[in-house]
Amino acid sequence: NAGVTQTPKFRILKIGQSMTLQCAQDMNHNYMYWYRQDPGMGLKLIYYSVGAGITDKGEVPNGYNVSRSTTEDFPLRLELAAPSQTSVYFCASSGQVNYGYTFGSGTRLTVV
């Protein structure tokens, strides 16, 4: 099993550009999450999903959108990138609501 796969690993965006961060898991987990981690800081929840077709906002959703059309995939969309979105983005999944999370290896995004 690959676990949680994130692509791309690195990306540089110009201000105002858009992109989609991909996240896929092969563990048949219902619960999926997007976090951002600024340098030397903790993890902030952006969006999460409890199953296909169901998503909800986390602590810092502004500037982002998500969709969950399948159990496996949970892409994160950045519209009109801003320097404040420079961060490392982690996707995570869980088999049950209060089980430990499996994290992907992250996407390092720089907005210039």
Partner 1 sequence: GQQVMQIPQYQHVQEGEDFTTYCNSSTTLSNIQWYKQRPGGHPVFLIQLVKSGEVKKQKRLTFQFGEAKKNSSLHITATQTTDVGTYFCADFTSGTYKYIFGTGTRLKVLA
Contacting residues toward partner 1, per CB under 8 A: 31, 33, 35, 40-45, 48, 50, 56, 58-59, 90, 92, 97-106
> Contact, 95 vs 27, CB < 8 A?
yes
Cα–Cα nearest to 22, from 9, 13, 12, 35:
9
CB 104, min distance to partner 1, A:
7
User: Closest CB to partner 1 among 100 and 112?
Assistant: 100
Distance CA 46, CA 63 (A): 10
- Pick 3 or 75: Cβ nearer partner 1: 3
CB of 24 to partner 1, least distance (A): 15
Measured from the CB atom, the residue of 81 and 104 that comes closer to partner 1 is 104
CA distance 67 to 82: 21
Closer CB to partner 1, residue 14 or residue 42? 42
On the question of a cis peptide bond just before residue 61, with omega within 30 degrees of 0, the verdict is no
